Amino acid sequence: MLNTIKKELAINPGLTSKLFIINFRLASLFYKKGLTTKIFIFNIFFLKLLKFFCGLDISPKTVIGEGLVLFHPQNIVINSDSVLGRNVMLKHNVTIGNKLDPVTGKHVSPTIGSNVELSPGVIIIGKVHIGDNSVIGAGGIVVKDIAANSIAVGNPAKVIKER
């Protein structure tokens, strides 16, 4: 855990990103272990402050692999049931949200692979999977799966190039 935090502090450029990473990783650890101590409450309080001032809304319940990079961490919202792989790069105004599945009647959330870059303004909604080593271009709205090693852009996002 400590190595993950050290690595992420080294690769994240800004103070806001670094403060978020420390508090998110600690709150996630406490949440997974069922430890609702005073330290956990402090972490949650700090994450709520970042939500208020920056619009950075990522629950400690969210599963995020190591190597998370937040460039310009403003207005980033990730549903708590979403899963993000390792070395995911998020830029400002990214939304990863759930959607009601009309067949099952349950809320379903996205899964993001490893080494994925989400450019500014990307929206990913519903039960979609973004494959490893993919890039979603600025303003892309993803409502269907994106294969691994792809570059996708547009509304709705379509693959324009294989990497």
Number of domains making up the chain: 1
Residue 63 sits at φ, ψ, to 5 deg, of: -90, 115
Report the alpha-carbon distance of residue 67 to residue 20 in Å, rounded. 13
Angle, helices 38-54/15-33, rounded to nearest 10 degrees:
140
Question: Which is higher by pLDDT, 84 or 37?
Answer: 84
- Predicted confidence band at 77 (pLDDT cuts at 50, 70, 90)? very high
Report the alpha-carbon distance of residue 110 to residue 102 in Å, rounded. 16
User: Is-contact 159 150, C-beta < 8 A?
Assistant: yes
Q: What local confidence, expressed as pLDDT, does residue 30 receive?
A: 80
In tens, the pLDDT along 93-142 reads 999 999 999 899 999 999 999 999 999 999 999 999 999 999 999 999 99
Residue 39 sits at φ, ψ, to 5 deg, of: -65, -45
User: Is-contact 19 50, C-beta < 8 A?
Assistant: yes
- Predicted confidence band at 155 (pLDDT cuts at 50, 70, 90)? very high
Of 60, 69, 61, the closest CA to residue 118 belongs to: 69
CATH number of the domain encompassing residue 39: 2.160.10.10
Report the alpha-carbon distance of residue 140 to residue 3 in Å, rounded. 33
**Structural domain range at position 77:** 2-162
The answer to whether the Cα torsion of 140, 14, 114, 149 is positive or negative is positive
By mean pLDDT, which of 42-46, 59-63, 86-90 is the weakest? 42-46
Global pTM reads 0.89
By mean pLDDT, which of 3-12, 138-147, 153-162 is the weakest? 3-12
In tens, the pLDDT along 11-59 reads 999 999 998 998 889 888 887 777 766 667 777 888 888 888 889 999 8
